[in-house]
A = this chain, B = another copy of it.
Amino acid sequence: MSAPTQRPSVVYGRPVTTDGVRNLYSGTSVKPWTPPVPGIDNLGITSVDTFAVPGVGEYTVPFDGFVRVVRSQPTSEEWSKAEVYTNLIEMKMEGSCEELGHITVTLNPDCLSTGQIRTPFDPYAGEGPAAKACRMAVGAIFDMPKLGLRLANKEPIILTIDDVRQIPPAGSPGKGQIYRMLPLHDVERMDDSPVAYVTSLRFTMGGYLPWERFGSEYKEFGK
């Protein structure tokens, strides 16, 4: 619930402090084309992931859950110049399919999952302000109790959202930039060969969630 007190061993980008940063829930107003003050966005998320297990099969699983993302002070008040850095501080997504059973996806505490929002170097041509590109490098744990497995990625999962016109990009579709396969390792044997792969990942950022969604432990952050 709070920021990690111990530094994760793998840091994929720029750390962002949660000190003094306000939690934002349902009812938060979001202005398009406007860099916002720092906040912790408590957002819904859905995802459709495909897992390949060598010699067994390929399974596509829909997930539903939430993410908590801390955003930095923008580097500029001007939309076109602003860079915003983000850390994924909590995630919980659940899904299931017959063969793999129930799957819970959470953050890997050994990794700091980091991201940024900036104007891309190859913006789409168009009228009006330039849309931004959002990217995040994520270390996750895929808990699959039916198989007796907890899997983790060692290469980050790169999640991207294009055409970002507001921060956070609630409602936007995004993609895991996986080229053919992303290896997943058994957390008990991280130095062994991968035991499964993610071969596709498509997600959609949801909107702000009500603080009640996070349980009474989050009440202190309520509005």
Q: Which of B52, B58, B122 makes the CB contact (< 8 A) with A199?
A: B122
Cβ–Cβ < 8 Å partners of A137 in chain B: 154-155
Q: Whole-angstrom distance between the alpha carbons of A160 and B192 in the complex?
A: 21
A181 and B120 contact, CB distance less than 8 A: yes
Cβ–Cβ < 8 Å partners of A197 in chain B: 121
B75 and A193 contact, CB distance less than 8 A: yes
B14 and A192 contact, CB distance less than 8 A: yes
B154 and A155 contact, CB distance less than 8 A: no
Task: Indicate whether A13 reaches chain B with its CB closer than 8 angstroms.
Answer: yes
Q: How far is the CB of A111 from chain B (nearest CB, A)?
A: 10
For chain A, give the interface size range.
Answer: 35 or more
Task: Indicate whether A191 reaches chain B with its CB closer than 8 angstroms.
Answer: yes
Task: Indicate whether A9 reaches chain B with its CB closer than 8 angstroms.
Answer: yes
B13 and A154 contact, CB distance less than 8 A: yes
Q: A14-B191, A155-B13, A155-B156 are in contact. Are A52 and B180 (CB under 8 A)?
A: no
Q: How far is the CB of A108 from chain B (nearest CB, A)?
A: 13
Q: Which of A185-217 contact B (CB under 8 A)?
A: 185, 190-194, 197, 199
Q: Whole-angstrom distance between the alpha carbons of A118 and B194 in the complex?
A: 11
Q: Whole-angstrom distance between the alpha carbons of A135 and B155 in the complex?
A: 11
Q: Whole-angstrom distance between the alpha carbons of A5 and B190 in the complex?
A: 19
B194 and A14 contact, CB distance less than 8 A: yes
Q: Which of A140-156 contact B (CB under 8 A)?
A: 154-156
Which residues of A approach B to under 8 Å, CB–CB? Answer: 9-15, 52, 58, 75, 83, 85, 114, 116, 118, 120-122, 133, 135, 137, 154-156, 158, 160, 177, 179-181, 183, 185, 190-194, 197, 199
Show 11 residue pairs from A and B whose CB-CB distance is below 8 angstroms, ordered by the A residue. Answer: A13-B155, A14-B194, A116-B183, A116-B194, A120-B180, A121-B199, A155-B156, A156-B156, A158-B179, A160-B179, A177-B179
